[in-house]
Amino acid sequence: MLAYALMPDPRPSGAGNAGARLDRLVEIMRTLRSPDGCPWDREQTLESLRPFVIEEAYEVVDAIDRGDLPGLCDELGDLVFEAVFLAQLCAEDGRFTLADALDAAAAKLIRRHPHVFGEDARSDTMTSDDVKRRWEQIKAAERDSAGQPPSLLGGIPGALPALLRAYRIGRRTATVGFDWERPADVLDKVREELSEVEAAVQREAPDAVEEELGDLLFSVANLARHLGVEPEAALSGANRKFTRRFAALEQHFRAAGRALRDVPADELDQAWNRIKQTERT
């Protein structure tokens, strides 16, 4: 503990300067990774940090969903720290520094916004859809110049949550016209996939059930896209609603001195419906 007490605490060189605060965070990370720093931090690798990056990103989203701005401030700091941590590991191996990553991000933003920084600057004729189409064209050109196989879907991260990835896949293919024309057409596809799930269940074919359920979920994600709904957010909202109502169900029977496992199914359903009705009114 004495070693930690003797460690200098880097202070920002400019009040309110985000760059100075980032410099301070980088110095703290270097200290933690130093021989006199934290044993746990020194043991970490890119692979071991992967779950923490995902967890912090989800905590940022959770703060947004809860409308918790002080929490969002805190969670954004944690997410930036994970980026600093990863960059520090790469800097130690001589691969790249945080400055390199920030330069790459700035260059990419400028390159992908020619309507702001380039030949189309100050153009007032571009719509949001035009911008998205141009963005995809620029990304495709970047992949081509990097020697990557030309693929419209190649840049969608495989580690995305499956529902969000299905949404992104549909959004990407729609840019080249590979899409349903109307939401009603996607609804027909959802009904078709549901009937195929039912058929697989009747055949008692587990592998087919899994495949058809996947097709059904993929179609639902694309239905959400056509209806202007982000499916991951919609499902998160449904999860929160169910959790809230189930907690009310538990509280209802706990107050009566009864455990849920001892309550008949029809009575559970009746209480559940009363809770739903109370919320709606």
- What is the model's pLDDT at position 122? 60
Q: What pLDDT, in 10s, does the model give residues 216-230?
A: 999 999 999 999 999
pLDDT above 80 for 123: no
Check: CB of residue 196 under 8 Å from CB of residue 210.
Answer: no
The reported pTM is 0.66
pLDDT above 70 for 121: no
- What is the model's pLDDT at position 120? 64
